[in-house]
Homo-oligomer: A and B are copies of this chain.
Amino acid sequence: MANESWISHYSPSNDFSLANIPFGIISTPEDQTLRPAIAIGGFALDLKTWLAIVNKEKLADVFSGVDIDQLDHALSQPTLNGFAALGRPVHRIVRKGLQDLLRKDTPYAELLRDDENARTKTLSRLSDVMMHLPMEIGDYTDFYAGYHHAYAVGVMFRGPENALQPNYTHLPVGYHGRASSIVVDGTPIRRPVGQILLDPKAEPKQPVTGPTRKLDIELELGCFISKPNKMGESVDVKQAEEYIFGYVLLNDWSARDIQAWEYVPLGPFNGKNFGTTISAWVVLADALEPFKVKTEIDNKTELQEYLKGEEDKTVFDIKLEVDLTTADGSTTTIGRTSSKYLMWSFPQMIAHHTLGGCSMRPGDLLGSGTISGPGGVEERGSLLEMTENGKKEVLLAGMNARTFLKDGDSITLRGFCADDGKGVRVGFGRCSGTIYGGPQR
């Protein structure tokens, strides 16, 4: 019965199963206050409201070992930063307590299942809640750990001999991204204007200014930091799991023509900073733990000591999908891959990021870099790869085809882990955005 919930219409094959219990920030038409919630089946459970009405002594049973006043305070905030900062042992207890509250044979039936007033006040259909950015994001760093993506892009621009830069297998390459333009699932994305070289081979090089002609996606996994480290202090790779709050899907929208002209020598800038979309529900690190696998990428380079962990299983086997929906409403799944193709784990990224003493704060976001599989165009996480930088078309349903995105196109990323033997599924929901052209809306 551990797999069954009393929530109406619940099925263990939901993205938001009992095995998941992801956290997000909601508001409702009746109450515009931004507040923490979890998703269960097709419903959101409003944690702030529930904590306010439930008997505090009984809560001490549900979340045994947790300071209830501290938890109540953290879960009354308009972001999850306070909850994240309570640390992974607390997240573990709270998730377990909520699983017990929501399973069919709950020992805490009077706290929600059998209390109609509490149910009415705290449970809303997911279609009735507005989702907001789950965290206040201090800094956003984007890595480049998707080996097949880095290799394919390298071949495209430098040939197979020099596809990977010499540093690639020695350290998790990354760059600082823009935090202000990170938005939640569903936010429209304006096609950016930028400087573009229409003819990169002409001399002297003469850019024009206009809307990007090469608007692309990047299929990534995002990781939120919970525990801070002091400036000057590095995080040991073996301890780094304790600094992770949870994961989201991430689409690092990219304007390839703007990027190509601007990025030497200091890296991507306006080609990326016009928008980054994340999924709304943060899947806690513990919910993904059962789906850890050994990375599929065999890095033969002898690693520096600070990157050597103790674990054999360091990445997740999250099945990932990219759907493209055109303005006429027809949808095509244009990419399918898995996060097991990441060469570097998030603990390795954290150890590298903090090696020189860079401080991390609760709510900081790390992107994995684009994830692609080893196979053909159908396993790629960017249109750049699928179309060989616009040379080939991706065929879509409804007699459509694309090299890069058109106005009106929507991209939806999906991801889930499944243990079919146990009928368990942990999913991320969607990470989507629709492109529009012209002035700001």
Contacts and interface: CB of A to CB of B under 8 A. Distances in A.
Interface of A: 138-139, 144, 165-167, 170-171, 173-181, 183, 190, 192-195, 204-205, 207-209, 212, 230-234, 255, 258, 261-270, 273-275, 304-306, 352-353, 355-361, 364, 440-441
A255 B178 contact: no
25 contacts: A138-B138, A165-B265, A167-B264, A170-B207, A171-B195, A173-B262, A173-B266, A174-B269, A175-B175, A175-B269, A176-B176, A176-B273, A181-B358, A194-B356, A195-B304, A209-B305, A209-B306, A233-B440, A265-B267, A267-B267, A270-B352, A270-B353, A273-B353, A273-B356, A357-B440
B356 A270 contact: yes
Given A232-B190, A232-B441, A267-B266, A139 B355 contact: no
Contacts of A261: 167
A213 to B, nearest CB: 13
A139 B274 CA distance: 14
Given A176-B269, A192-B355, 8 more contacts: A144-B266, A165-B265, A173-B266, A174-B266, A190-B357, A208-B304, A209-B306, A230-B440
B179 A138 contact: yes
B193 A231 contact: no
Contacts of A139: 178-180
Contacts of A166: 204-205
A95 to B, nearest CB: 27
B262 A357 contact: no
B171 A274 contact: no
Contact of A170 (B138, B195, B230, B267): B195
A261 to B, nearest CB: 6
Contacts of A176: 175-178, 267, 269, 273
A361 B265 contact: no
A245 to B, nearest CB: 16
A165 B262 CA distance: 10
A285 to B, nearest CB: 21
A207 B231 CA distance: 24
Contacts of A212: 356
> Within the oligomer, what is the number of copies of this chain?
2
Contact of A231 (B183, B204, B266): B183
Nearest to A204: B166
Contacts of A275: 231, 357
A179 B359 CA distance: 9
Closest 7 CB pairs of A and B: A267-B267, A192-B356, A232-B440, A175-B266, A190-B232, A176-B176, A274-B356
B266 A265 contact: no
Contacts of A194: 355-356
A86 B6 CA distance: 51
B268 A266 contact: yes
Given A268-B267, A352-B270, A355-B270, A180 B361 contact: yes
A359 B181 contact: yes
A274, A306, A360: most-surrounded residue (chain B CB, <10 A): A274
A165 B264 contact: yes
Contacts of A165: 264-265
Contacts of A440: 230-233, 357
A47 to B, nearest CB: 27
A360 B180 CA distance: 7
B358 A180 contact: yes
A261 B266 CA distance: 13
Contacts of A230: 440
Contact of A180 (B232, B234, B355, B359): B359
A440 B180 CA distance: 30
Contacts of A170: 195, 205, 207
Kindly name the residue among A192, A262, A353 whose own CB sees the greatest number of chain B CB atoms within 10 A.
A262
A193 B267 contact: no
Given A267-B267, A267-B268, A193 B355 contact: yes
B356 A180 contact: no
